[in-house]
Structure 1
Amino acid sequence: MCRTGRSSDHGVGQGLDETLKADLIRVAHTVADAARPETLRLFRSTGLAADDKGAAPGGMGRYDPVTAADRAAEAAMRAVIARERPHDGILGEEMGTTTGTSGLTWVLDPIDGTRGYLCGTPTWGVLVSVADASGPLFGVIDQPFIGERFVGGFGQASVDGPHGTHPLATRPARHLSDAIVLTTFPEVGTEAEGRAFRAVSQAAQLTRYGMDCYAYALLAAGQVDLVIEAGLQPYDVHAPICVVQAAGGIVTDWQGGPAHGGGRVIAAANPRIHAAALALLQASLA
């Protein structure tokens, strides 16, 4: 199965029969297909309104927008699951949790990167994954505007897009001083977490910001070496975990443990760069 930790996608799906795996892959693609038109309908439209979840009671204070496109996309995704896999559970960013009876849960983020969506940048994506009680099994990172779809799990690791369909493979080992690091926010969580991130960033060759889920897609495609974030939710990371690990990478929390619960996440192209970055993060937090 697709698991957070130091192994890649070898032995994925043990305990699930091939018919079930094939059905889950089919439904994951169908769910992503359903979200595409809903996200594109309002993308780069003038005057798109957004509510601020961060300012609402229980919000985190930081600007956290949600648009009609987020809600319409999740509704379309849920409709597919209700039709195709009615006994499965659902965890979605906008519409919460629906309890299932199959032992499987679909984890959905209809637009991961709504801030980028509002700005018109193509670095947001639709996240679809399916998980059991121990973590994510198969995941999709879909970028509707570019027409790219990254998949990982059940022995698959590929991207389909403008350049055709190609296997995914993360970068080979290199020194941290040669590494490219991606993240979403320059401040990266709390003040202490930000200091820890900067310790890695300052040791690396290049750092870029504002990528949201597309950062993990680029890591899986062999373009960059590290993605480091904090303050994430499960729906932010389940699909990226599957895609990165299927491509040969590693995803853990900042202690080297499972990351599918969210929080502090480090995704790395290989064990060497993971160990080097993790050591700096932990030393800075000590």
Structure 2
Amino acid sequence: MKPRYEQPDVSDGTTFGCFVRRESAFDFAWHHHREYELTLITEGTGTRYVGTTVERYHPGDLVLLGPDLPHTFASEEGEGTAEAVVAQFRHDFLGPDFFALPQFRTLDGLLTRSARGVRFGCATGELRALLARLPLVEGAVQTVVLLDVLRRLAADTTATPITGPGYAPAPGTAVRDRIDAVCRHLQQTHTGPVHLAEVAALAHMAPTSFSRFFRRAMGRTFTDYVNQLRVETACSLLTDTFLPVTEVVARSGYRNLSNFNRRFRELKGLRPTEYRAAHTELS
């Protein structure tokens, strides 16, 4: 129930990993590792969980996640093949002081910001081509291509943090085990009734104590996190189906239309009908 610690494979002849992840679907697999992770979605849609933040992803989405930042990518049900280009590397993969050199100051700043995760929106065609090339080349060429990608990303002024400032990427083991048991449970059950006492029991805590614990650990309230899960589910239903809003409300876990509308607008800045119309125009 806790995030699995992963030790990414590194091929002989290099000091970092780069590969294409292609599966029938990305399953929910909450995990963390010591490496930075750069992920470009090339096929499929779904939900990205990073720290406290839950967001949908689409082809072209690009993120950089810092070390020990719990995360997972989960495909939409029935979406079909899922594919991503992934590069994983440690801060010292080119030597302990490489990023401390003056000419790499902007890259070091990018890596520092990745502690909260950084999203770059939809990657340009040129950037996608560079990332797609990464698994196909080897040795010095592969390293140069990765540095070129990081250089371009460090100069991206539209990049935004993924998690809130209240989130600690590497809480203590006991805290992380409890939080991750809760997050996995909610990922599976948030569209139904969510009872605080039942969830608190997963963390072996009384409801009042659990509420305080969750807010300290996650930087947001338990209710806010559940609403985020439900609104992202609603976004998927609004853009991928023709279900009426009243049915979207029910399938997202809400029992009250006015509460759903209020929560949706707080998180998305639009009414559900406006969100659907805007996404349809972009399709």
User: What's the TM-score once normalised by structure 1's chain length?
Assistant: 0.25
The structure in which a higher percent of residues are helix is 2
Select the structure with the greater relative contact order (CA < 8 A; seq sep ≥ 6): 1
User: What's the TM-score once normalised by structure 2's chain length?
Assistant: 0.25
